[in-house]
Amino acid sequence: MNFSCDKQTITLQAQALTVAGWTGRNLDAVQHHIDELKALGIAPPSQVPLYYRVSPALLTQESHITVLGDASSGEVEPLLVNVDDQLWLGLASDHTDRDLEAHSVAASKQACAKPCATELWRYDEVKDHSDELILSCDIQENGQWVNYQQGSLASIRPLKELMDSHALTPGSAMLCGTLGAIGGVRPAASYRMSLHDPILDRRIEMSYQVSTLPIIN
């Protein structure tokens, strides 16, 4: 998998992929969400944050993914990548099967591809102002683009803290958590996402579409 950065090409031969969950910085809000899900029959995490290992083959730069059923949805997230002991920051979507999530969060993470952008930034260039980076996700509803997620990385645990708890070895990547969904979590057929650096005045963007397969019993 190739990424562009500073007019050069970075090649990741992904050997491990992790999805960090329950990474909200406001622990009271995280616990409230855990309690809400528990009331719906979804088991609470064994620890917070929790690092879900999934197949590295799920990480894709394709602009179109196919999922089973109509109950999946995407989540905009920062993506950390280690290539030859150099850390890079990018953008990805933790697309997840919400029906399966009620039975097993780990299984729901494994069920869907994880689209990612084709551009990376050097982590060292943003680490001192990473809280000021802004994530945004729009979805298409009724023929209109609607803002679905919006906020800064100050809403999730510091990236360094996540890496200190779960080391990124060469050839590995990690999705680092997301923001609350405006209007509630729901499926969509089209997504467009961005990671904006207001300090260095630059932006990583990506978009993808989703097709569904019928569930045959």
Write out pLDDT tens, residues 183-193. 988 999 999 99
In angstroms, rounded to a whole number, what is the distance separating the alpha carbons of residues 59 and 180? 22
What was the pLDDT predicted at 36? 66
Residue 12 has a pLDDT of 95
Please compute the mean of the pLDDT values over residues 72-82 and round it to a whole number: 97
74-96 mean pLDDT: 97
Lowest-pLDDT choice from 6-20, 40-54, 113-127, 186-200: 40-54
41 pLDDT higher than 80: no
- Mean pLDDT for 51-71 is 97
How far lies 59's CA from each of 14, 32, 39, 133, in Å? 8, 30, 32, 22
Mean pLDDT for the stretch of residues 150-171? 96
pLDDT given for residue 46 in this prediction: 87
Which residues, 6+ apart, have CB-to-CB distance to 146 below 8 Å? 138, 139, 140, 183
- Least confident residue range of 13-22, 55-64, 95-104, 131-140: 95-104
The residue whose two tokens read 């969509």 is 188
pLDDT at position 40: 63
Model pLDDT, residue 214: 95
> What is the per-residue pLDDT for 42?
74
- In degrees and rounded to multiples of 5, residue 125 shows phi and psi of -75, -20
CA-to-CA distance for 95 and 65, rounded, in angstroms? 10
* Strands of 144-152's sheet in order across: 64-68, 202-213, 190-197, 134-141, 144-152
Which positions ≥6 away from 17 have C-beta within 8 Å?
53, 54, 55, 56, 58, 59, 114, 172, 173, 174, 175
Average pLDDT taken over every residue of the chain = 94
- Model confidence at 124: pLDDT above 70: yes
What b/e string do you get for 38-57 counting C-beta neighbours within 10 Å, with b at 16 or more?
Answer: eeeebeeeeeebbebebebe
Predicted TM-score (pTM) above 0.75: yes
